């Protein structure tokens, strides 16, 4: 059975939350310790994390959750065409040229020229395409995957595929699926026996949020929203030696912004009902300040720690009283919560849109394909299902 078309899963013009998975070719440990050569490529995880952080500052896309493992990565992303609609043409052009500079002569100087930005901003037809792409998760993943592959191949002095193919995308249909998926993503290192708890699960959104709560900060990798004058760029290029231009290029790559909270580039977890509309971020480190779960950070982390501990024989137990109301509100059977999270792939691996059985049925009726795999299997995880 062929994979679903992207248009069957989501459309860039709509706000949608997607669970995206990208795997290394042949599932090789290209960002971990390679079992064949014994080389340690774990440093590439920071490459990927910084690239995600930079793209979060440019695209109209909220990064809700992520996990980077040795041979694949998970991302939970929310497209925000409503945020892109608030940006001026010049802002859109500047953001686009930060990621896709084209064949710019002054590319080594790091920033697009003022004339490049104005030329793009004054092209209405091109601007319509660029606006759509800045809220398109497929373009976000393209801008993430391709540079990492090029950088890794350059380091290894080789050619060929780094990723196995196009990323897998599932549209999360309701809050129950979103909560289960986010915890599944955050607990991936625990499930893979790479960490004992969320607090030690590096390169995950849970780790970033926990460390941020403890006061940890990082240097922002956000793209600097500034331009350089073409005449100034030409003057620098003319007066610089090839070695100095190489140094300028390296400095531009390594340039960092101000220090921010470790999770400052991630979307806030708690959904504040008083914040309506796009809620555009003013600091330029993420698309918006809009949350995504109807629960506090403390409630989420408490449930995450408890769920993660259920993988150990000495820690298993009944659902805590503090967590029961959350699951009841979402219609999730208490005794099936851990199974739903730990075996998320078993229940929804072949589904285009994970969610409650009723929500999956509704989506199938409205969609192009009238059948949504996984409905029968997941029924036992929910209560009051017809």
Q: Where are the alpha helices (DSSP H) in the chain?
A: 6-9, 44-58, 81-84, 89-99, 114-121, 124-134, 137-156, 175-186, 188-191, 205-213, 230-239, 242-254, 297-309, 324-330, 337-342, 344-348, 357-366, 375-378
Neighbours of 239 (CB within 10 A): 8
pLDDT computed for residue 107 by the predictor: 45
Q: Which pLDDT tens digit goes with each residue over 244-281?
A: 656 656 666 566 678 999 999 999 999 998 988 999 99
Residues present in the chain in total? 386
pLDDT in tens, 95-148: 999 999 876 544 445 678 888 899 999 999 999 999 999 999 999 999 999 999
Q: What is the pLDDT of residue 105?
A: 45
CA separation for the pair 202, 55 (Å, rounded): 20
Calculate the average pLDDT of the chain.
Answer: 88
51 assigned to some structural domain: yes
The answer to whether position 105 is within a domain reads no
Give per-residue pLDDT as tens, 144-203. Answer: 999 999 999 999 899 999 999 899 999 999 999 999 999 999 999 999 889 999 999 999
| 42 domain residue, yes or no | yes
| Domain assignment of residue 4, yes or no | no
Give a yes or no: residue 278 inside a domain. Answer: yes
What's the whole-number mean pLDDT along residues 47-57?
96
Residue 286 structural domain: 11-80+135-222+257-316
Contacts of 277 (CB under 8 A, 6+ apart): 82
Has residue 110 been placed in a domain? no
Q: Is the pLDDT of residue 15 over 50?
A: yes
Q: Is residue 264 part of a domain?
A: yes
CATH number at residue 56: 3.30.70.1290
Q: To the nearest whole percent, how much of the chain has pLDDT over 70? A: 86
The 10s digit of each residue's pLDDT in 322-345 is 899 999 999 999 889 999 999 999
pTM comes to 0.91
Crossing angle of helices 44-58 and 137-156, in 10° steps, is: 150
248 contacts: CB under 8 Å, gap ≥ 6: 108, 109, 110, 236, 240
Does 92 or 12 have the greater pLDDT score? 92
pLDDT value of residue 364: 80
pLDDT at position 229: 63
Whether the predicted pLDDT of 382 surpasses 80: yes
Q: How many domains does the chain have?
A: 1
Residue 313 has pLDDT above 60, yes or no: no
Please give the pLDDT value at position 316.
58
Nearest to 186 by CA among 32, 303, 51, 294: 303
Q: What percent of the chain has pLDDT over 90?
A: 66
Is residue 294 within 8 A of residue 274, CB to CB? The reply is no
pLDDT score for 104: 53
Residue 366 CA to its chain's centroid (Å): 27
Whether 8 has a pLDDT exceeding 80, the answer reads no
Domain presence at residue 245: no
Say which residue, 375 or 247, is predicted with more confidence. Answer: 375
């Amino acid at each position: 059975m062929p994979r679903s078309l992207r248009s069957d899963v989501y459309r860039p013009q709509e706000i949608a939350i997607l669970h995206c998975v990208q795997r290394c070719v042949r599932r090789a440990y290209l960002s971990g310790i390679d079992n064949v050569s014994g080389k340690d490529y774990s440093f590439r995880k920071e490459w990927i994390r910084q690239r995600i952080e930079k793209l979060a500052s440019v695209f109209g896309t909220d990064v809700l959750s992520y996990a980077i493992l040795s041979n694949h990565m998970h991302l939970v992303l929310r497209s925000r065409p409503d945020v892109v609609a608030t940006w001026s043409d010049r802002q859109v052009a500047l953001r686009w040229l930060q990621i896709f500079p084209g064949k710019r002569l002054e590319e080594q100087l790091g920033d697009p020229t003022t004339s490049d930005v104005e030329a793009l901003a004054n092209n209405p037809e091109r601007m319509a395409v660029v606006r759509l792409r800045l809220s398109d998760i497929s373009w976000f993943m393209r801008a993430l995957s391709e540079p990492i592959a090029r950088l890794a191949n350059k380091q290894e002095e080789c050619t060929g595929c780094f990723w196995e193919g196009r990323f897998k995308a599932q549209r999360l249909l309701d809050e129950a699926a979103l909560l289960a998926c986010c915890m599944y993503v955050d607990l991936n290192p625990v499930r893979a026996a790479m960490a004992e708890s969320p607090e030690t699960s590096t390169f995950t959104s849970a780790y970033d949020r926990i460390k941020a709560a403890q006061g940890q900060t990082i240097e922002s990798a956000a793209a600097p929203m500034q331009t350089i004058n073409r005449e100034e760029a030409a003057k620098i290029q003319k007066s610089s030696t090839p070695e100095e231009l190489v140094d300028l290029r390296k400095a531009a790559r390594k340039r960092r912004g101000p220090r921010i909270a470790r999770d400052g580039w991630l979307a806030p977890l708690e959904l504040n009902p008083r914040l309506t509309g796009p809620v555009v971020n003013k600091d330029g480190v993420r698309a918006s300040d809009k949350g995504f779960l109807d629960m506090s950070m403390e409630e989420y982390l408490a449930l995450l720690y408890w769920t993660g501990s259920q993988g150990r024989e000495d820690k298993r137990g009944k659902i805590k009283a503090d967590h029961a109301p959350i699951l009841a509100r979402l219609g999730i059977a208490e005794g099936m919560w851990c199974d739903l999270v730990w075996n998320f792939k078993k229940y929804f691996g072949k589904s285009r849109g994970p969610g409650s059985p009723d929500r999956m049925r509704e989506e199938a009726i409205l969609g192009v394909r009238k059948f949504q795999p996984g409905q029968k299997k997941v029924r036992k995880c929910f209560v009051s299902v017809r």
